[in-house]
Structure 1
């Protein structure tokens, strides 16, 4: 997305998918609509910088991008008419150009419809998720690539192929019918999950959080929940987002530094969001069937309802991770489960769970961060320092790098002063949770 001031960038993150939706509905061409909106953003960079943000920024974008779409349509029509004139085959009924203004249609929010278009079954699930993150969530190709643990070039090609396939398929721009929901919903929920994850713990750069992404993910999850109020996984995902985002204000210190869950000032947590999330998951779980979002929401609820970190019900959390591991194949579950195992059965048991990590975790900084913490709990300071340093080198998040480097430095200094202390079997210390990953 074009670079603006943070306030304008937040505004555009909401407006751009809406404008793409308006143009797609009006002209029926998603790929060209996206290109036209990107050109409108380039014009906005110059005009808005000089004249300020217009009174109706959405209408401005629709108008400017719409002119570009009209030019493209007229050019294509003129070419076809020349071809048909030569062949003597101009249809009598071809008089009006598509894209004519239909009154107040630009006031309609098409974001949710665009979300389901990007998750259409004509696309493989991975491509659908990547395209939606780019077109609806506003993530960069690099951010999406990190979410999928693939090279950026590979992700760029996947997104381009997805756009071409949507265009070539001619799928209609509309909300799915009832019989289409099952095939589309899983991809939609996973997209919103990844958008939220990227906002809650930004994968790269100087900021720990991107609140505009978490807010947008929650807004879209609410919209899907309104459409499907009886779907327990939709309710579970919305609950998970609310319960996790409720801790957001306490995740950073005065200087923007990362504050681990166990050290957070719980008085800063959003109690209204916690209450809403707990109510959602409490109502969803008995209705079933139970899916991974509901289980993760239940885990988040246990954390949020503990008055202090020391009073966290780790046996219940461990039991829930056991359920989650049986119904989900996300490798990051193993990292969080290892922490829960360490808190219940001791750090050695947690480290044993990570002895043969999933290939997707090999080299990932979170694997080293969790191992470092468990080595620290086990009193193995030399191994902990080495893993903290490796994790710091591998993360692309500057707040995480600073936090991990600081942990390594402090622990190295303690080891130099005190050596490695003896640890009783099964002893565990202050818990660390994988705050950068919901799973």
Structure 2
């Protein structure tokens, strides 16, 4: 439309220029002598020829003048038209470059907004981060400068330690007033620590789910490796159940919500990942809670892909009390091994007890061995429930949860349910407000803080 508007004046201007000389040629040539007279009977033919010859030079001169004027006007019109056309083309080129630049800036702003909505924008102080796309992984991983980690953790002060793991300590990192993260520093530069680092980066850069903790970035400084995770304000389930509060912040409904969240995370690993993923280290210390008590699986250092694994092909790993008997005795590892560990976590939520407790110096008792005879006895079951939540739940719901726990910790893997079946059994036990389908007649009591 803009090009047509600019070309119309050029066409009109050219038409005027080209039409004026044509109208000049339509006028009869002017001569100083009298007009020629048609031949008559009194005048001989030769006389007429001599008069015509006398007028011919004047007519030729006028014709030459008209042709010269016409050529000049045509030349001027062409120059003007070409000049205007050049101006139009230059204007269109400038407009196209301007639009393209604006479009590029708009796309960059849109991408930044998209990254921010996904949690990849790490705050104003993290502008110096750059992204590196790992080979074979989905999405970018932030490579974080070591000096930023030092400043955010106050040089890794002990009062910033959030917890201790098998391969290192986890620190609270404050990158800005609004942005907090958890930084895990892996001890030493041994093969185990290196393998832990590579496995975590590989899995958590590929796996993205609402019930799996997000890896925000990593750092390599000499032989030390750092992993930066999203901040989980309520720490681990282990610290909530067995720490100073002894589970006082976790109501019955919150515990059922945590169980449901863990089941959702495991279902994603077992059913929706290709190939399926076996976490291999499900335990209460690897279940983290955010500010809304949403539970997320963490620590994928032992995770593997595939189906059944032979004990000769994979190193026996795990945590005592959570390891399935067939894996411990025969090295057979399947997704049912994660289901067994989930059953142990469920018993922790029900009873508030640790997975393994010492009876004497050389004797230990697992929560499964101790609880199994009482879980199937309805008269004894209410008495072994954690005192914090005792008598706060519907007994029918308690019996259902106990039945699920019994199935999950069966010694025979084939008797254990699929995690999808476990997930669907918990949805009716969790209030709608917490992500389930249970409708409550009374509002939920506020969680203790």
| TM bracket, shorter-chain basis | under 0.3
Q: Which has the higher contact order (CA 8 A, sep 6+)?
A: 1
Larger radius of gyration: 2
Q: Larger % of helix: which?
A: 1
